[in-house]
Structure 1
């Protein structure tokens, strides 16, 4: 059955591994750069640096947040370096563009990545003009999802009414505060079907198909 999203007038989309497939392995390029960075500033052997990177991601929401808290890192150099990767693995999807374009109301990017990274990826995917705003890690004062304070920040900044908002994410934990606030949550990606979280309302590994089949405001299908 198609999803009933006829109550939604604000559409929040995560960026990485949500608006392009996990299978592209694009984020793998960024993770290698993160390990390079952690290895260099800590002096740890590479495998230990990689484990620390993952530990910070798990405990703090992003590797960057862990580096800022534990190493006093200034974020700009990190963000500029790790996001400086080739876009070759990302392929524009005309079906996704058409599906997003038909969504009524506002469309906003909500990412733990940087503004520059979001702008580059959206432009490469030919999606930038479909989104009115980009709420990135700088906008969140470097406090990443799933922090409730960051959800409060985006909600106040853009006057978001949670019961009329849908949030699309590849990370189950990032959907928890959204669901608790009253948003409709959609887990995206190849592992979505395996989720049993009460905070996930819909699951899909076919975002264009999901959006195209959904019931929207003003539509009968």
Structure 2
């Protein structure tokens, strides 16, 4: 078994537990752009440039807005996650694969608890997790900051040497790997059919990525003894 001895399974949410082509993240992305345009009183084109610059430099557009403009996070988080979750359909095969994993399972996201609840409910996997760690739990410090992973581990009593992290961005696996976790990059087919910046695809062949899969369910099923 490739991940023998794993006792804690940690999953990113958006574009990991469901594929990017379902476009939930694109909805969030559009609402972030609209929020930035309104907050900074700029055009949406200008807002998009700011949004993506902050996302790359700070880990989330939210953190960039807080640092650069002193913005309060509550209204932003509520607004950008108010999206249509109906493109998601129940995925009983994924649910069964997660349920069959030994040990505890977690969602670790830069989104919110309410967004996690909506996504996992639509997927039919809401009862398969032992805990959720969201951006508020992280003290609004997003991935890939190592302190955020350390806080998750401390809050949930997880030993990194017995943990596996699943993510759709390779850069978000650097800190888990340094901390001793196994790392799995999830890059579903059709990922390049949706808008993703080139840097988001960087690092998949780097040493901090232990496994790469384009089929999360199939990967988890294959772990069964």
Which residue in the other structure is 1:94 paired with? 92
User: CA 1:194 to 1:162, structure 2 compared with 1: closer, same or farther past 3 Å?
Assistant: closer
Which residue in the other structure is 1:57 paired with? 55
Counterpart Cα distance in 2 of 1:172 and 1:43: 34
C-alpha offsets along residues 89-115 of structure 1, whole Å, 9 cap, x if unaligned? 112211111110100110011000011
Counterpart Cα distance in 1 of 2:150 and 2:4: 24
Q: RMSD between aligned alpha carbons?
A: 1.5
Offset at residue 50 of structure 1 (A):
0.4
From 209, 215, 218, the counterpart of 2:218: 209
Higher relative contact order (CA 8 A, sep 6+): 1
Aligned residues: 214
If the length of structure 2 is used for normalisation, what is the TM-score? 0.92
Counterpart Cα distance in 2 of 1:194 and 1:158: 28
Counterpart Cα distance in 1 of 2:96 and 2:132: 20
Which residue in the other structure is 1:200 paired with? 209
Tell me the secondary structure at the aligned position of residue 168 of structure 1.
strand
2:171–2:203 Cα contact (<8 Å) kept: no
User: CA 1:130 to 1:193, structure 2 compared with 1: closer, same or farther past 3 Å?
Assistant: farther
C-alpha offsets along residues 164-187 of structure 1, whole Å, 9 cap, x if unaligned? 000000011100000011100000
From 6, 11, 34, the counterpart of 1:36: 34
Offset at residue 193 of structure 1 (A):
11
User: Mean alpha-carbon deviation: is it higher for 185-194 or for 204-213?
Assistant: 185-194
User: Mean alpha-carbon deviation: is it higher for 187-196 or for 202-211?
Assistant: 187-196
C-alpha offsets along residues 36-65 of structure 1, whole Å, 9 cap, x if unaligned? 000000011111100100001000000100
Which residue in the other structure is 1:67 paired with? 65
Offset at residue 22 of structure 1 (A):
1.0
User: Mean alpha-carbon deviation: is it higher for 43-52 or for 185-194?
Assistant: 185-194
Offset at residue 194 of structure 1 (A):
8.1
Tell me the secondary structure at the aligned position of residue 212 of structure 1.
helix
Counterpart Cα distance in 2 of 1:194 and 1:112: 20
Which residue in the other structure is 1:218 paired with? none
Q: Which runs of 5+ in 1 are unaligned?
A: 216-220
From 59, 78, 81, the counterpart of 1:80: 78
